Amino acid sequence: MEAAGLMNHFPCLVIRGICDYSDSHKSKEWQGYAAMVAAAYAKDLLCRIIPQQVEGEQRILDILGPRIDHVGETTDRIDRNLSLDRLPFAQGAEFDSFMARHEDECLPGTRTEILDQIREWAVSPQGKCIFWLNGMAGTGKSTISRTVAKYLRQDKSLGASFFFKRGEGDRGNAMKLFPTVARQIALCIPEMITSVQNAVDDDPGIAMKGMKEQFDKLLFQPLLCLEEFGRQIRTVVIVIDALDECDDDKDMRLILQLLPQLHKLKALHLRVFLTSRPETPIRLGFKKLANHDYEDLVLHEICEELIEHDISLYLNHRLSEIRTDRESPLPINWPGSTNVQKLVALSIPLFIFAATICRILEDPYWDPVNSLARILTYRNNGSKLDGTYLPVLDRLLNAQSEEQKTQIVQEFHQVVGTIVILESPLSVISLSRLLGCSQELVRLRLKPLHSLLNVPSDDVMPVRLFHLSFRDFLLDPETRKKTPLWVDEKEIHRRLAKQCLHVCGNLRRNICGLPSDGTERAKIARQTIDNCLSPELQYACRYWANHLVQCTDLNDVIHDALFFLRRHFLHWVETMSLLGLVSEVVEMLDLLRAVISDDNQPEMCDFLHDSKRFVLKFRQIVVDAPLQLYCSGLIYAPRMAIIRKEFEDELPDWISQLPQVDEKWSAELQALEGHLGMVLSVAFSPDGRLLASGSDDNIVRLWDPATGALHQTLEGHSGRVLSVAFSPDGSLLASGSYDNTVRLWDPATGVLHQTLEGHSDWIWSVAFSPDGSLLASGSYDNTVRLWDPATGVLHQTLEGHSDWIWSVAFSPDGRLLASGSHDNTVRLWDPATGALHLTLEGHSGRVLSVAFSPDGRLLASGSHDNSVRLWDPATGVLHQAWSLERPITPLTFSSDGSYLKTNVGSLDIQSRCDNHTLGPPHVNLEIFVEHREWIILNRKKVLLLPADSRATCAATNGSMLALGQPSGRVSFIQFRV
């Protein structure tokens, strides 16, 4: 048949296929699958062909007959499933995934009380939103989670499960937590599918967005929509296991902030069963939750008899299995009840010890009678760890010649030493490539250790420790006295650093063969990246610096590192960009800089300084399109930049005339791009680790000033954000807005704590009291309001000004609050009572800025009348007035109080001189705005910023200056120029 003819017949053939499958009675699974595929074709083809083929239409309808509705229904379902398929999910995170098929569940008869308690909580209408099972490593939490998930599935109340696992790709972080959970819940509550589908359609990149947004759009809102369906209320539980294995403390805390919101859902009882070790960020996260949000159970604190009973049951069961499974019969009385008792005592409260002992005893290469005797001997001599691990390790060296022993010890260090030090696990194949040895050698060394290491039969799967205690044992300095197999951590780090750098030598330009220099990272499939970058190369790129900084003899490795950087720096950044890890490059450069001395390694220091400038400057473009590094990056780098000179050969040869560029790096470290409107306010957190920027686009963004990474996007205001301020302990961020509200956010998680409503006009200024117990907001409604930031309760409304409030400031002891107003006055209030203390009159123009000196003895006011006035805040007496050239804002004291910094110059307070003196040498930074350009004075150096720095606001953390720009960018300026 000709191609055209075939095309004409094709739709009918497909539809015939559908009819045939519907009539046949093949396996249910097959039918479902075939139906979906066939119906998808049919729907598509019907739409395209029917209007054009009148004759064909009749035939199609004849064949389909009454089944047409069924096809429509099926295709809708396919559409929905396809939509859910666009949601990325973490492979293997579900409790019954293929990867988890060998994981244990609770042995029947063990954990009965705990399991009952959890089941009761899940079904009780009064049950709290979260059940937190908290316990030390190896107490059996994950085993309980798997069992709970299984029961819930049987009861049809399992909504979703997510088992975190460090070093297991997406399971080791929170990026895909909510998409994975949303996908599972939507499949179990079909009414939710359309809302999830809409969220994905509205924003196809939603799964790459911040967690708060993912939670809201993929989970919370779709679940909220269920209320429309008015179904009978049912219980749905999400199981989240091992939250402590999520790689980012802030993410853990954010998850804990978000989950309690699920309690607000009315259409169902949504519960979360969550387990973790009692790690600090998690404990602190729970501490912040209200008591009614969660209940908890501490697994290692339950009554010892219960633990003893369970471990004893487990050991008896496993030991009897070992007896039965053994090919050669064991002595009739083995292991003997006394020995079992001893093993039980040895294990309490850790199930992992019992499990490890059983793995040792069932190892077919060793005699269990002998193994048991050794375990019990070690038990008498040392710690639990000795008793568990030494018997296995000692056996490796038994009955070997000295020569063999030396070789075994050396290979053990090479292979097992590496496995315990690795930052994330690698397979046998990757290990052999990283170590430069044969796969056979790796296998050989692992063979006698199957009871301590999880060695998959598939050589491409990662080798892992059964339990981290094995690592602790091998690295413990005390172990050195007990076995030559002790692992010298620093030495292994040194070797790994060198081996990683060696592997990184394979990097090259355009390693993934991207079609063009402009290819966007978002459009590169993960599969392509994984095909081109082997796991060991990915590992080496990501961790070489971590290993380097942890070894003793740095000189030797630094030489290798410099050699690598000078050849492959750009290739490395390209690879890190492909992996989505550009921020880590900056962190790694900082890490290296911290251990390298200026005197001994000046060349490395210069290189690190220059390369950091390069990455910060071009970060955004590199994040978006990796290969732009060689074009936009190199050609716009300053002429004398080390990176530009080193990599001159990489400059694109198709650009005949390169753009004019500066000789050296300018003062601008980095521009933070993301705001869609003018940046109106910026503030550093008290520890300098976060920068907040408020903008015309109604959004507050939180950035990491060290790497330029965007941490949070705080959305909620419906008007411009005019002012931002951190609380003194950095735990809260306040934002004042055109929408007449102040919002209080948790800067660590981005969660909105409170919306303070009450002002009837814009809020231009917000300030926390020095002890953080009060928040003042100054507004265009002529009032200042004082709030309790912890509860959001309004304490006082300070009325008295007859016009807008531009600025508010607390005195350092918190006893006074100053407000500067459009009515040309400054007022001083007692924040405790709200009483007006003084009204300072004298300015002939609006007062734009107020500031207290660090000792609280002076109050400065800057006005639109171009003057600065200095008052005694206790008496209201005017000390001094300067008349300057322009309206004064902002106004701040130098940290030692000797200078007053204004936008037109600095004023020496002691000598009362008004000649715009530069600060004394110890004054690190002064900031001025001169003719709408910014001047920075640093140790008497004056720096005029580029003409485009028309900053609207500024803040400093002591080493960097952040400038908000009308263009919506935030620029970082370094001081040491």
Ligand X SMILES: Nc1ncnc2c1ncn2[C@@H]1O[C@H](COP(=O)(O)OP(=O)(O)OP(=O)(O)O)[C@@H](O)[C@H]1O
Candidates 105-113, 151-159, 450-458, 778-786; binding stretch for ligand X (CB under 6 A)? 105-113
H or E segment to which residue 214 belongs = helix 211-214
Nearer to ligand X by C-beta: 310 or 926?
310
Smallest distance, Å, CB 241 to ligand X? 7
CA–CA distance, 643 with 641 (Å, rounded to integer):
5
Candidates 36-44, 107-115, 474-482, 797-805; binding stretch for ligand X (CB under 6 A)? 107-115
**What is the number of alpha carbons within 13 Å of residue 493 lying toward its C-beta?**
16
Smallest distance, Å, CB 468 to ligand X? 6
Residue of the chain from 22, 111, 240, 501 that contacts ligand X (CB under 6 A): 111
Each as own residue / partner, the long-range contacts of residues 286-289 (CB below 8 Å, 24 or more positions apart, any chain) are: 286/132, 286/256, 288/253, 288/256, 288/257, 289/130, 289/256, 289/260
SS3 876: coil
CA–CA distance, 576 with 806 (Å, rounded to integer):
46
Nearer to ligand X by C-beta: 140 or 873?
140
CA–CA distance, 544 with 810 (Å, rounded to integer):
48
Candidates 78-86, 102-110, 290-298, 493-501; binding stretch for ligand X (CB under 6 A)? 102-110
The full 3-state SS of 639-702, as one line of letters, equals CCCHHHHHCHHHCCCCCCCCCCCCCCCCCEEEEECCCCCCEEEEEECCCCCCEEEEECCCCEEE
Smallest distance, Å, CB 466 to ligand X? 7
Smallest distance, Å, CB 240 to ligand X? 13
CA–CA distance, 874 with 885 (Å, rounded to integer):
29
> β-pairing, 926-930 with 933-938?
antiparallel
Smallest distance, Å, CB 136 to ligand X? 7
| 161 forms part of the interface with ligand X (CB under 6 A) | no
Residue of the chain from 46, 60, 93, 106 that contacts ligand X (CB under 6 A): 106
Report 119-148 residues binding ligand X (CB under 6 A): 135, 137-143
Whether 660 and 547 have beta carbons less than 8 Å apart is answered as no
User: Residue 821 — φ and ψ, nearest 5°?
Assistant: -130, 165
Nearer to ligand X by C-beta: 469 or 698?
469
Smallest distance, Å, CB 237 to ligand X? 18
Smallest distance, Å, CB 138 to ligand X? 5
Using alpha carbons only, what angle is made at residue 348 by residues 343 and 350, rounded to the nearest 5 degrees? 105
* Residue 959 CA, distance from chain mean position: 25
Smallest distance, Å, CB 369 to ligand X? 23
Within 10 angstroms of residue 96's Cβ, the number of other Cβ atoms is: 13
H-type alpha helices, 699-828 = none
CA–CA distance, 435 with 429 (Å, rounded to integer):
10
Nearer to ligand X by C-beta: 139 or 432?
139
Nearer to ligand X by C-beta: 425 or 750?
425
Nearer to ligand X by C-beta: 166 or 879?
166
Nearer to ligand X by C-beta: 135 or 626?
135
Nearer to ligand X by C-beta: 141 or 901?
141
| 312 forms part of the interface with ligand X (CB under 6 A) | no
Smallest distance, Å, CB 555 to ligand X? 38
Find, among 934, 939, 903, the residue nearest to 919 by Cα.
Answer: 939
Residue of the chain from 132, 314, 745, 768 that contacts ligand X (CB under 6 A): 314
Residue of the chain from 130, 237, 258, 355 that contacts ligand X (CB under 6 A): 355
Whether 219 and 178 have beta carbons less than 8 Å apart is answered as yes
Residue of the chain from 352, 442, 558, 683 that contacts ligand X (CB under 6 A): 352
Q: Token match 């950035």: residue?
A: 703
Nearer to ligand X by C-beta: 192 or 350?
350
Nearer to ligand X by C-beta: 143 or 769?
143
Sheet holding 158-163, edge to edge: 158-163, 234-241, 268-276, 130-134, 294-298
| 577 forms part of the interface with ligand X (CB under 6 A) | no
| 349 forms part of the interface with ligand X (CB under 6 A) | no
Residue of the chain from 19, 50, 99, 107 that contacts ligand X (CB under 6 A): 107
The contact pattern for ligand X, residues 232-251, with x = CB under 6 A and - = no contact, is ----------x---------
Nearer to ligand X by C-beta: 110 or 197?
110
Nearer to ligand X by C-beta: 471 or 837?
471
Burial 374-393 (b: 16+ CB within 10 A, else e): bbbebbeeeebbbbbbbbbb
Smallest distance, Å, CB 354 to ligand X? 7
Is-cis flag, bond preceding 515, omega within 30? Answer: no
CA–CA distance, 214 with 177 (Å, rounded to integer):
9
Candidates 28-36, 347-355, 618-626, 647-655; binding stretch for ligand X (CB under 6 A)? 347-355
The conformation of residue 913, written as its DSSP 8-state character, comes to B
CA–CA distance, 387 with 689 (Å, rounded to integer):
45
Nearer to ligand X by C-beta: 349 or 708?
349
Report 268-307 residues binding ligand X (CB under 6 A): 277
How many helices (H) and strands (E) would you count in the chain?
A: 30, 37
Each as own residue / partner, the long-range contacts of residues 522-528 (CB below 8 Å, 24 or more positions apart, any chain) are: 522/205, 522/208, 522/624, 524/578
Tell me the angle at which helices 177-188 and 193-202 cross, rounded to the nearest 10 degrees.
140
Nearer to ligand X by C-beta: 143 or 611?
143
Taking CB positions, which residue lies at the least distance from ligand X? 140
User: Residue 734 — φ and ψ, nearest 5°?
Assistant: -105, 140
Nearer to ligand X by C-beta: 139 or 740?
139
Smallest distance, Å, CB 135 to ligand X? 5
Count of residues that interact with ligand X, criterion CB under 6 A: 20
- Cα-based distances in Å from 508 to 311, 537, 618, 743, 936: 54, 12, 20, 48, 41
Smallest distance, Å, CB 143 to ligand X? 4
Smallest distance, Å, CB 260 to ligand X? 24
SS3 348: coil
Nearer to ligand X by C-beta: 82 or 468?
468
Candidates 3-11, 37-45, 100-108, 288-296; binding stretch for ligand X (CB under 6 A)? 100-108
Residue of the chain from 57, 76, 79, 104 that contacts ligand X (CB under 6 A): 104
Q: Which residues contact 105 (CB under 8 A, 6 or more apart)?
A: 143, 146, 147, 150
Candidates 78-86, 104-112, 203-211, 771-779; binding stretch for ligand X (CB under 6 A)? 104-112
Smallest distance, Å, CB 91 to ligand X? 19
Nearer to ligand X by C-beta: 321 or 799?
321
Residue of the chain from 351, 486, 607, 630 that contacts ligand X (CB under 6 A): 351
CA–CA distance, 253 with 289 (Å, rounded to integer):
10
Nearer to ligand X by C-beta: 106 or 446?
106
Q: Which residues are at the interface with ligand X (CB under 6 A)?
A: 104, 106-107, 110-111, 135, 137-143, 242, 277, 310, 314, 351-352, 355
